[in-house]
Structure 1
Amino acid sequence: MKKLLLTAMLVGTFGLTYAQSDYYNDYRRSVTDVNWATVITDLVLSQTQANQIYALNDRYHDYNSWNKVYVHNPDKWRNDRYVELERIMGRDKYLKFKNKYYKGQNPVAVYNRNKNNEKKYKKTEKKVYVHKEKDEHGNHH
């Protein structure tokens, strides 16, 4: 019984760690997939706003610093990050940013959708159509 319990705990721990790292990877992509210097220039942000964005991007420089904050709710980083970006940029400039980089969609929804892209339960079977032949009387076989 102890072996079974230990195995279940280890599987749960590794499963959680894998999931946590996926969330962290999404967080890192939200920082690195955008050319922030271009965003700052295009939106004509002030030096103060630029410094705040760079500080936000550097807030969690590694997995451990990010995980200390989001260990119990890894989904929360999305809302935290984009609420903070909106506060820094202002509503109008944030909407311009969102329209350009996320095609007008809420970035939180974009990352939530992305986390489900690799689900194993997606159907991979192809439909097979059977061609039915008719006999000389017009009946299908």
Structure 2
Amino acid sequence: MKKLLITALLVGTFSLSYAQSDYYNDYRRSISDVNWQTVIADLLLSKTQANEIYALNDRYDNYNSWNKVYVHNPDRWREDRYTEMERILGREKYLKFKNKYYKGQNPVAVYNRNKNNDKRYKHMDKKVKVHKSKHGNGHH
């Protein structure tokens, strides 16, 4: 019985830390998936703005530093990061950035959607689509 309890505790701890690292991986991708030199050139950013972008990108250079801030609310990184981006770029340039890199969608929503793409529920998605098409609701 004791082994079962220990296993349950370990599994619980692991799944919690795995979810936390998923958020961190999204955070890292929000930096690594963008060529910041191109962004800086395209948006004609000043040296100060460029330096602030690089400082923002370097703010949490490892999981532990990121986790200290977001341990209780890992979702908050998106809001924090993109609010800061908007402050650095200014509203107009931020909208250009958003349109080019996130097709006009709020980056917070883009990364939020990624979080909801849980593989365990993929099969249910297909069932829902089949169900809709049977009833002639072809539009989303």
TM score, norm. by length of structure 2: 0.83
State the distance in 2 between where 1:83 and 1:12 align: 33
Instruction: Report which of the two structures shows the higher radius of gyration computed on alpha carbons.
Output: 1
Instruction: Give the equivalent residue in structure 1 for 2:110.
Output: 110
Map residues 45-84 of structure 1 onto 2, 5 A cutoff.
45-84=45-84
**SS of equivalent residue, structure 2 residue 123:** coil
Identity %: 80
State the distance in 2 between where 1:121 and 1:58 align: 34
Structure number having the greater helix percentage: 2
Write out per-residue CA displacement over residues 55-114 of structure 1, whole angstroms, 9 at most, x where no aligned residue. 000001011111111111111101100000000000000000000000000000000111
Distance apart, 1:4 and its partner CA: 4.4
State the distance in 2 between where 1:103 and 1:76 align: 22
Amino acid at match of 1:105: Q
Would you identify which runs of 4 or more consecutive aligned residues in structure 1 move more than 6 Å?
124-127
**SS of equivalent residue, structure 1 residue 34:** coil
Map residues 9-88 of structure 1 onto 2, 5 A cutoff.
9-88=9-88
Q: Which runs of 5+ in 2 are unaligned?
A: 131-140
State the distance in 1 between where 2:50 and 2:40 align: 6
Distance apart, 1:6 and its partner CA: 3.0
Q: Which runs of 5+ in 1 are unaligned?
A: 128-141
Instruction: Give the equivalent residue in structure 2 for 1:131.
Output: none
- How many residue pairs align between the two structures? 127
Distance apart, 1:115 and its partner CA: 1.5
Distance apart, 1:5 and its partner CA: 3.9
Distance apart, 1:53 and its partner CA: 0.3
